[in-house]
Structure 1
Amino acid sequence: MTALISHTTFDSIDAYAQSVFWGQVLGFHQDPDDPNLPGEQECMIFSPDGAQRLLFIEVPNAKQLKNRVHLDLKPDSGTRDEELVRLLALGAREVEDLRSPDGTGWVVLADPEGNEFCILRSDAEREYWRCS
C-alpha cells in the first residue's frame, strides 16, 4: 500500500491573491463550478490536466522562517532567463541569483507572501549545454 498526494497546501495571508499569482505562474485554473473569490479562506487551483492541485488556506500569521519544502520550476518553452523576467513581472521577488557563467545554476525567488521557489534551466537549455 502507498499514499498518493491529493494536493499541495500553502498557508497564506490572502488565499485568493496567492491562488491568482500561482495560477498565472503555472498556467493552473480554478474550478469553474466552484470559483475562487476574494476573501475566501480556501482557494484551490488545478493543472490543465487536473492531475496536480494547489490549495491556499488563510492563516493568521505571515511566513517567518525559510521554507522546508519549495517548488523547483522550469520553463516549458523559452529560457530560464526569459521565465525569470516573466515571473518578476507577475510579482515574484528575486532572493538569490545562483546562475553560473557556464549556464548552470538557478535563481531563488519568493512569491508575494515570501515563499521561496527556484527557476531552473529549461530542458532545451540543459540539452544545449550538455551537447556543447
Structure 2
Amino acid sequence: MTSRIGDMVIDCRDPEVMAAFWSSVLGYRIFARDQTGVAIRGATVSPDILFIRVPEPKAGKNRLHFDVCPTDRSQEEELERLFSLGATRSSIVGSGSWVVLEDPEGHEFCLMSKRIAPEPAAYHDA
C-alpha cells in the first residue's frame, strides 16, 4: 500500500485573497469555506489546495513551492496574465527556463517555459 497527497495546505493571512488568486492562476474553483480557511479544487483528482488562516506573516523563503506551466499561451503571455492577477516578480532570480514570482502574500512560485495540457473542463467532486 501507498499514500497519496489529499490536500496541500498553505498558511496565509487572508484565505479569501489567496484562494481567489490561485483559483484564477490554476483555473480551479472554490469549493469549501469555514472559519479556518478556504479550499480550492481542480477538475481532476489532483490534490485540493487549502488556504488556512494564521496570525503571523510569512517569514523567509518557501521550503516547498509550485511550478506552474502555461497551457494555451507562451511564457511571456502567461507572465503578463499572472501580473494582472496580482503576482509580482521575486528578488530570487530564475534561470532561462523559469521566472520566480510571488503570490499576493509573498509565497514564491515559478512560471516555467514548458507548456502542458490543460485540465479537463468538467469538475468532479470527491
If the TM-score is normalised by the length of the shorter chain, which range does it land in? 0.7 to 0.9
Residue 45 (str. 1) matches residue 37 (str. 2): no
**Which string of whole-angstrom CA distances, capped at 9 and with x for unpartnered residues, describes residues 27-84 of structure 1?**
00022xx4x48xx431000002353310000000010110000000100111111110
Q: Secondary structure at the match of 2:109?
A: strand
TM-score of the aligned structures, taking structure 2 as reference length = 0.83
May I ask how many residue pairs the two structures share in their alignment? Answer: 115
Residue of structure 1 in register with 2:85 after alignment: 90
Which ranges of structure 2 fall in alignment gaps of 5 or more residues?
117-126
Question: Which structure is higher in helix share?
Answer: 1
Residue of structure 1 in register with 2:8 after alignment: 8
- Structure with bigger gyration radius: 1
The answer to which structure, 1 or 2, has the higher relative contact order (CA under 8 A, 6+ apart) is 2
Q: Quote the Cα distance in structure 1 between the aligned partners of 2:36 and 2:16.
A: 8
For residue 113 of structure 1, report the CA deviation from its aligned partner. 0.3
Residue 108 (str. 1) matches residue 100 (str. 2): yes
Q: Quote the Cα distance in structure 2 between the aligned partners of 1:43 and 1:19.
A: 6
**RMSD of aligned Cα (Å):** 1.8
Question: Which structure is higher in strand share?
Answer: 2
Q: Secondary structure at the match of 1:77?
A: coil
Q: Secondary structure at the match of 1:123?
A: coil
Indicate how the Cα distance of structure 1 residues 73 and 2 shifts in structure 2: closer, same or farther if over 3 A, else same. same
For residue 99 of structure 1, report the CA deviation from its aligned partner. 4.8
TM-score of the aligned structures, taking structure 1 as reference length = 0.80
Indicate how the Cα distance of structure 1 residues 51 and 98 shifts in structure 2: closer, same or farther if over 3 A, else same. closer
